[in-house]
Structure 1
């Protein structure tokens, strides 16, 4: 059996050109696999156990989120009808495009006010769209906002229970490239939001960042936001909550009022 040590794992980590979260997930799987090898007597120790590998500081995705006014502009610039319904579904659920593309009429329960997110229509290694699990490999439920009810009702018209709700105009599967071109995103996105030099320009996935940030800003508990969006961990969701502008401003006001009490006491003492 080929030997594997801590240095081997560290070298593989450094050479692998993937995101930090993907590399951490792979490390966790490797560690569990090596634990089995230890139990089987194939190796004496697990070189991946408790291995601390340097990772880049996570940038807050809330920096990509649109304000409520910018979101309204995004929706207004989108052509009315079929495509606008898709954009509204993305904005008001926070779902990934593949999850929206995989929704069927039977997944929408108006009586309960919930949408069941159980599948995703995403490209495979060959670029072909295939039906599979959600990114988290778990089903979840998303609330139907009042702002989304009319949109869903129109999208589901004449749909049978297992028909896809959101498709291309001719019934084909949705993908981000085709959707971006169909709504003319590149032509008007800078009129919605311009990001700092060096940052990517506005794209469809920013609607998910927007939903997460607005939910946190509305005071929805981060654990609930995590479950609605299907995040892999609470730490991911907290990246949105930490950047909550309203919460920061409220904290500043509270701190200011606290300091003002001492200012008043000192003013009385000097008089």
Structure 2
């Protein structure tokens, strides 16, 4: 699939195969990509990130093909187009699929449907599949163009939650003696994603220049923690560090060296030279880091946030303090300045009032 112009996948199968297999040549044939028989599959010219592949596969397996998972109900009761021939698929059937998924689309045995955001994502995956099928001559037209998935506005992500500067300081103060104290500060100081911080190597750090290179991430691919390149070219970036963070990293490196010397042969022989690692040099499990963060937030008595919300907090505080949007974009590795502004500029309460007061003072010297 195309994703920001870089990732292209297409449906590979012959028209003869489609005609011979009938109904099995419809969306049901995509099931064969999961079981390895290879009759019909998604293939990538420029391989998308593994996490993206996992997301697409989950959509196809769980919802378009409606395969049974664990103790979930009988898949024949689920909204699906798995038994529909691609060349007989209609926009009305897709509308019915989207409506069904919104009301009864869960696959975990619980009642209820998928979110509008999830259904819209599914529609984008299916739309691209049908577009490629039409281009390959497998269907006459892309009927997804005439269907009506949830609108983009209705499918927007939930409102971003962030800490105020005071809440961030309270949290950092409460975890000052925590073994992960520097990691929590690093997230707030840099706005890095979870996996980006866990993937930083000492070879990526220039303490004399006061900067780090973000080039890889230790992240979840399905259920498996995996070291991967960062998610996009924009995500590959250099981030400057404050003097206090640099000093903390210097002390941290000395402590790591002492741990390595003390452990001797017990030190992980496959250690990757990670900045944030276990005492034996092995990487932290991303999900366990998130779990530890949740416990620390509860103890600190500040509003509950996800670990990823530290990234949102960093961006919001920088923008609210008057930092240029271009600088914030570069530090966070966003694709465009417009995305940065749209995502964060309305988050911190009171920001507009403060801006109005500053402007009034500049305009006529009044207090607003």
Tell me the TM-score normalised to structure 1 length. Answer: 0.72
Pair 1:117 & 2:221 matched: no
CA distance in 2, matches of 1:114, 1:19: 40
The one of 73, 91, 108 equivalent to 2:205 is 108
Give the number of the structure with larger relative contact order, counting CA–CA contacts within 8 Å between residues 6 or more apart.
1
Deviation of residue 25 (structure 1)? 5.0
Which segments of 5 or more consecutive residues in structure 2 lack a partner in the other structure? 1-24, 26-84, 107-113, 261-270
Maintained 8 Å contact 2:123/2:149: no
Deviation of residue 93 (structure 1)? 0.8
Residues 187, 22 of structure 1: CA spacing in aligned structure 2 closer, same or farther, 3 A cutoff?
A: closer
Residues 112, 24 of structure 1: CA spacing in aligned structure 2 closer, same or farther, 3 A cutoff?
A: farther
Residues 41, 173 of structure 1: CA spacing in aligned structure 2 closer, same or farther, 3 A cutoff?
A: same
Deviation of residue 132 (structure 1)? 2.0
Residues 36, 180 of structure 1: CA spacing in aligned structure 2 closer, same or farther, 3 A cutoff?
A: closer
Larger deviation, residues 210-219 vs 74-83? 74-83
Maintained 8 Å contact 1:30/1:48: yes
Alignment of 1:60-71 (within 5 A): 60-61=159-160, 64-71=161-168
Maintained 8 Å contact 1:189/1:202: no
Query: Alignment length, in residue pairs?
Result: 249
1:164 aligned partner: 274
Could you say what secondary structure the match of 1:80 adopts? coil
Deviation of residue 94 (structure 1)? 1.0
2:133 aligned partner: 37
1:209 aligned partner: 312
Could you say what secondary structure the match of 2:144 adopts? coil
Residues 141, 255 of structure 1: CA spacing in aligned structure 2 closer, same or farther, 3 A cutoff?
A: closer
CA distance in 1, matches of 2:213, 2:225: 21
1:75 aligned partner: 172
1:188 aligned partner: 299
Deviation of residue 21 (structure 1)? 5.6
Residues 51, 109 of structure 1: CA spacing in aligned structure 2 closer, same or farther, 3 A cutoff?
A: farther
CA distance in 2, matches of 1:28, 1:245: 34
Pair 1:177 & 2:282 matched: no
Deviation of residue 182 (structure 1)? 8.2
Could you say what secondary structure the match of 1:120 adopts? strand
Tell me the TM-score normalised to structure 2 length. Answer: 0.56
Pair 1:253 & 2:357 matched: yes
CA distance in 1, matches of 2:156, 2:132: 32
The two structures, once aligned, show a CA RMSD in angstroms of 3.7
Deviation of residue 86 (structure 1)? 0.9
